[in-house]
Amino acid sequence: MNDMTRPGEVDPPYLYEGYRSTKLRAPSQPLVQVPAGTLDVPFARVGATFVKEGDNDLTVHGKAGTPLGERMVLTGRLLDESGRAIRNSLVEIWQANASGRYHHVGDQHDAPLDPNFHGLGRTMTDDEGRYRFMTVKPGSYPWPNHANAWRPQHIHFSLLGNAPVQRLVTQMYFPGDPLLALDPIYQSIPERARERLLCRLDLDVGIENYALGYQFDIVLAGAKSTPLGI
Amino acid sequence: MPARSPSQTVGPYYAIALPWKDGGRVTGCAGERIVLEGHVLDGAGQPVPDALIETWQAPDRDASPSTDGKPHGFGRIGADASGLYRIETAMPTGEVPYLDVIILARGLLKHLHTRVYFAEEARVRGDAAMKALASSPRLSTLIARKAAEGEYRWDVRLQGEGETVFFAA
């Protein structure tokens, strides 16, 4: 079981009191150790035809124009723990619109849907491990975890990496968001590692008079046995 | 050295992005066609309709590149409203055939790694990768049940009685 007090632990525990949905879904038995290398066997790669032109621009998927909200360029590098770029690797994101509403049938929050924003993007990293999206800043929204619970603004990320041991699903947050201190999902991360999920304002990667810029690097686990082919 | 990024839950709305077209149909693997079906269940025995299941197996060395770019040997499917998932693939290769499985869901702050075997228990007990479980009664939670020719059942229990074995990554 993940233990927040274990030196160097990065991930949240499975059972986290403040996040109600963990109570019946967290395993109660300790995780079983498997021999080194068991989860290191590389995946088959995603092919070049998987991502289509425009998949990394979430502002052009509407039929009637551009989405509402604060436009932003979001870019960063995908690395492993030894600092090597993870190249030609799939990055998938999804997010709420600027009003805090997901384009999903299960989201009944009384905020407007935006017909010009579906909130999904995908891209492949380049030779430096870099990805780049154009999107809008997502809004905060209430959720039923506890009284008056609101999620901080966030964008979901899914990274395949090159082997099961590198698989990561996470969320990116914005620095200075006052809801971070109150959010059990963010607070479930050991304190030393929380700020790794904050993006960084960098106007130089934005577009003057058009879009703000943010940088967000993501670091996946390294292989436990042999280096993974990259 | 950069520090590893922490995990966060996939949340309830991953279906916006993660399920792929034909994601539950695994390509690039020849051999006996099989269907794997089952429920993901929580600690109260209730189905988890917002679970996402991913499976990995080695594709054929000589498989031609996929036309849509979807990686060979990979299955990704969301459970349906009743918590049922369904993967169509080929019997994995190897002495003791298995699929690597990753489970994601709202309420899981980090995904879970496990395996599903298609072999008799005695052979799974002899698999070197399962050494830590060689004499554990919990090993049986990793074995699919043959329901019919080419059809297998395997439930994932996240918590409590009959809890599936999950691996430390």
CB proximity under 8 Å: A 55-94 to B: 79, 81-83, 92-94
| B22/A28 Cα distance (integer angstroms) | 33
CA angle (A4 as vertex; A194, B46 as ends), nearest 5: 95
Percent of chain B, pLDDT > 70?
100
* CB–CB contact A102 B16 (8 Å): yes
Residues of B in contact with A190 (CB under 8 A): 6
Per-residue pLDDT band for A227 (boundaries 50, 70, 90) equals low
Structural domains for chain B:
14-157 (2.60.130.10)
Q: With DSSP H G I counted as helix, E B as strand and the rest as coil, what are the percentages for chain A, rounded to 5?
A: 10, 25, 60
Report chain A's mean pLDDT, rounded to a whole number. 93
Please name every residue paired with B33 in a beta bridge, in sequence order, or none if there are none. Answer: B90
What b/e string do you get for A47-86 counting C-beta neighbours within 10 Å, with b at 16 or more? beebbeeebbebbebeeeeebebebbbbbbbbbbbeeebb
Separation between Cα atoms, residue B96 and residue A183, nearest integer Å: 44
Comparing alpha-carbon positions, the chain B residue that sits nearest to A101 is B13
Question: What confidence tier does A224 reach under pLDDT thresholds 50, 70, 90?
Answer: low
Residue A54 and residue A224 in contact, taking contact as beta carbons nearer than 8 Å: no
Closest alpha carbon within chain B to A30: B166
**Chain A residues near residue B125 by CB distance under 8 angstroms:** none
CB contact under 8 A, B167 and A32: yes
Inter-residue contact B87 to B77 (CB < 8 Å): yes
Tokens read off for B38:
């089952």
Q: A7 vs chain B: nearest CA distance in angstroms?
A: 14
Expressed in angstroms, the distance from the first to the final Cα of chain A is: 30
DSSP string, A208-220: TTTBEEEE--EEE
Residue B134 to residue B126: CA distance in whole angstroms: 7
Does pLDDT of A228 surpass 60?
no
Is A44 within 8 Å of B6 when comparing Cβ atoms? Answer: no
The answer to whether the CB atoms of B166 and A92 lie below 8 A apart is no
Catalytic residue, candidates A16, A19, A131, A141: A141
Which residue do the tokens 């899914």 mark? Answer: A158
CATH of A20-220, one of 2.60.130.10, 3.30.460.80, 2.60.40.10, 3.40.50.720: 2.60.130.10
Nearest to A20 by CA among A181, A172, A151, A184: A184
pTM greater than the 0.90 cutoff: yes
Q: What is the pLDDT of residue A230?
A: 44
* Nearest-neighbour CA in chain B from A32: distance (Å): 5
> A47-51, A101-105, B48-52, B64-68: which has the minimum mean pLDDT?
B64-68
Mean pLDDT, residues A126-146 taken together: 98
CB proximity list for A2: less than 8 A, separation 6 or greater: A9, A11, A12, A13, A14, A31, B110
pLDDT: is B161 or A8 the higher one? B161
Residues B60-76 have a mean pLDDT of 92
Contact A44 B72 (CB under 8 A): yes
Contacts for A8 with CB less than 8 Å, ≥ 6 apart: none
Where are the domains positioned within chain A? Answer: 20-220
pLDDT in tens, A139-194: 999 999 999 999 999 999 999 998 889 999 999 999 999 999 999 999 999 999 99
Active site residue A156: yes
pLDDT tens, position by position, A68-86 = 999 999 999 999 999 999 9
A102 an active-site residue? yes
Per-residue HEC secondary structure of chain B comes to CCCCCCCCCCCCCHHHCCCCCCCCECCCCCCCEEEEEEEEECCCCCECCCEEEEEECCCCCCCCCCCCCCCCCEEEEECCCCCEEEEEEECCCCCCCEEEEEEEECCCCCCEEEEEECCCHHHHHCCHHHHHHCCCHHHHHHECEEEECCEEECCEECCCCCCCCCEEC
Place of tokens 């590893």: B4
- Say how far apart CA A205 and CA A112 lie, in whole Å: 30
